[in-house]
A and B are shown apart, each in its own frame.
Chain A
Amino acid sequence: MNPLLLTHFTATSCAGRGLDATLDALSAARSGLAPCDFEGAALHTFTGRVAGIEDAPVRADFAEFDCRNNRLAQLAMTQDGFDERVREAIGRHGAQRVGVFMGTSTAGILETELAYQRRDAQTGALPADFNYATTHNPYSLAGFVRAYFGLRGPAVSVSSACSSGAKVFGSARRMLETGLIDAAVVGGVDTLCLTTLYGFNSLELLAPGPCKPFDVKRNGISIGEAAAFAVLERDSASHADDDAIRLLGIGESSDAYHMSSPHPEGLGARMAMQQALASAGLDARDIGYVNLHGTATPSNDAAESRALTSLFDRVPCSSTKGATGHTLGAAGALEAVIAALALRHQMIPAGANTSEPDPALGLDYVLASRGAPLRAVLSNSFGFGGTNCSLVFGRKGAGAA
């Protein structure tokens, strides 16, 4: 594929608001996970809750979009001057030439959960202030971002469970390649809600403590919330900086195996990684670091390890979900930003909370963050329904190393 420039990016999760705080947490392998105190969730587990969302309503002129998910979107977009960078891109290209591609699994369905607690005792009706379209519906996120920036180009929410935040890069790339748009605001936002907390609880997948991806003692996931955004533009001579971070490759596949369990050999995951490398024109040995999907369930980590070791001959890797929790539909975008941070700062982030990598998995699992000369990084995102997406980010000439 033609490389795309990642001209700006930002992320907010329980590991930190904005890039500096995120980098600081990753460098120190510090986890933002804490015992679950989410209202209405009486569960013995840890979550990655972002502090302060409750006190940060959506801007008054977009009040109809106000919900936890769009609050976190707004909070994250205003870090690192990201909103200003988007406005500059709109100034360069025009409001019709900038697309919006947002990943989310549950958007603002917390609003509906809360509305069901306030039903009319006689009629069963939901409260009059409940607004389905701008909160619960998956498009509420892309619709909010499009309205926030006054955009008039294409916009869509991608909702393929835990691959959503990575898949947006694929949709944006195709739309940029057609020439219909000149820039894309891509991202992923997912926030805590009872459906996912009790849903993963029903599958017995919640870890009682902070999750420990790839550890011998890994025993389930910790659910987090996050918002991460990037601006993608076509590569051009005016961006001649070879050190700029580029999206080099994308791989997308389906397991065609089971709704909530991965293919045991990681076949779909392997296909996604292979395709990402091929579309980047890179070999496995060109990749200096792999940010694993690594949810910390026994079967997910085992399947991903099989897929990885079938393609890579010892590559430094980690899952950053020990630091951020599993942020579901945001995870792909959050981890894309982490991959970009690793490239920008030439740093391999450790997998927080993991102390004893499972030797049966055969990975070069990174336990202490360290500096490293990185030219290309691969990031994996997999989800329910057997949906897989791998992204390769790197610098110009990443394959020449």
Chain B
Amino acid sequence: MTPLRGFIEGVGVIGPGLVGWPHTADVLTRRASRTAAQTVLPAPAGLPSAERRRTGPVVRAALAAAHEAVAQSGRDAATLAAVFAASGGDGGNFHAICETLASDDPQISPTRFHNSVHNAPAGYWSIATRAMAASNVLCAYDGSFAAGLLESLAQVSVDGTATLLVAYDTEYPEPLHHARPIADAFGVALVLAPQKSDRTLARIDVHLTDANAFSFADADFEALRLSNPAARALPLLEALACGKASNVVLDYLDGTRLAVDIDPS
């Protein structure tokens, strides 16, 4: 057995009332309160203007979190393998495609089509950072963050490759929102390295479990955790923000969850 282990070197977070990792860490440790506000998605850095104009919220959420985590790690983004994990793609874009396809003139635009692929954020990220390394794009519905973490740590442990994990989802407009009620955009990113270094924030180990997933006693945090598949990472982020050794269980699949040990020492 190769332990599923990595060393966290960078964190990025964007979400409703959460602006970056330092602010999110303050909120999670009750040093700051979260204001009820919609997620503010910045224009994606690093892209040529033609590409930047074509990006929708899902790409913006992913790239914002990814850029923050990589900057904190001090690594060159172009050298990192990447794992992108999301339940869905660009909801507004897909709504527009479906409306067009159901109309008398079902001609969709090329940009709408290439933005509809699940790996659009991965494609734009590689263009923005010139990263030519392997990039994997996953989906496990509400367990997408855990699936991405498992895949990233397998890559780190087995191949000894420093890996960027990015998990994100954005809301669908109605009528799809009713079928998939994601509240608002949320993105989280971790830079995971195979060895401990002076940039290490914490060691992380994971294994499968059938224990129940951690839930917050705080109603606001718990609602936020359940509001977006990427926000299922919040218990891990809280453990990291607290800066002491702890373990949490994250939502993953029916009957199977992911146990996470965080050790900042």
Contact = CB atoms under 8 A, between A and B. Distances in A.
Interface in A110-131: 112-113, 116-117, 119, 123-126, 130-131
Contacts of A268: 132
Nearest to B2: A178
Interface residues of A, number: 68
B90 to A, nearest CB: 12
Contacts of B154: 171, 174-175, 177-178, 180
Given A157-B138, A175-B154, A256 B175 contact: no
A179 B2 contact: yes
B123 A386 contact: yes
B118 A174 contact: no
Interface in B126-155: 126-127, 129-141, 144, 147, 150-151, 154-155
B98 A139 contact: no
Given A119-B175, A174-B151, A139 B139 contact: yes
Interface stretch (A195-203, A209-217, A288-296, A369-377): A195-203
B199 interface: no
Interface string B99-135: 1111000111110111111111011101101111111
Contact of A257 (B127, B139, B159, B208): B127
B123 A96 contact: no
Given A137-B139, A156-B147, A195 B133 contact: no
A387 interface: yes
Interface string A151-162: 011111111110
B156 to A, nearest CB: 10
Nearest to B115: A259
A160 B137 CA distance: 6
A171 B106 CA distance: 36
B256 A152 contact: yes
A22 B178 CA distance: 42
A180 B88 contact: no
Nearest to A155: B253
Interface in A8-33: none
A198 B175 contact: no
A163 to B, nearest CB: 8
A154 B117 contact: no
Contacts of B2: 177-179
A255 B126 CA distance: 7
A253 B140 CA distance: 23
Nearest to B138: A156
Among A40, A96, A199, the most chain B Cβ lie within 10 Å of the Cβ of A199
B138 A159 contact: yes
Contacts of A257: 127
A355 interface: no
Contacts of B119: 159-161, 383-385, 387
Contacts of A254: 122-123, 126, 131-135
Contacts of B109: 202
A388 B110 CA distance: 21
The interface size bin for chain B is 35 or more
Nearest to A134: B141
Given A155-B253, A178-B157, A202 B108 contact: yes
A71 interface: no
A1 to B, nearest CB: 9
A133 interface: yes
B24 interface: no
A38 interface: no
Contacts of A200: 113
Contact of A203 (B106, B113, B123): B113
B32 interface: no
B130 to A, nearest CB: 5
Given A154-B150, A384-B117, A386-B126, A139 B158 contact: no
A198 B115 CA distance: 14
A371 B3 CA distance: 45
Given A170-B136, A198-B108, A384 B253 contact: no
The 9 A-B residue pairs whose C-beta atoms are closest, nearest first, are A385-B123, A199-B113, A252-B134, A159-B118, A179-B1, A138-B139, A174-B154, A132-B179, A256-B126
30 contacts: A116-B98, A119-B175, A124-B174, A126-B178, A132-B180, A137-B141, A153-B256, A154-B147, A154-B208, A154-B253, A156-B140, A156-B147, A159-B118, A171-B138, A174-B154, A178-B157, A180-B1, A180-B4, A180-B154, A198-B107, A199-B110, A202-B108, A253-B134, A254-B132, A256-B129, A257-B127, A259-B114, A260-B110, A384-B114, A386-B126
Given A137-B141, A254-B132, 15 more contacts: A116-B98, A132-B179, A138-B139, A157-B138, A157-B140, A160-B136, A175-B150, A180-B4, A180-B208, A199-B112, A256-B132, A259-B127, A268-B132, A387-B123, A387-B135
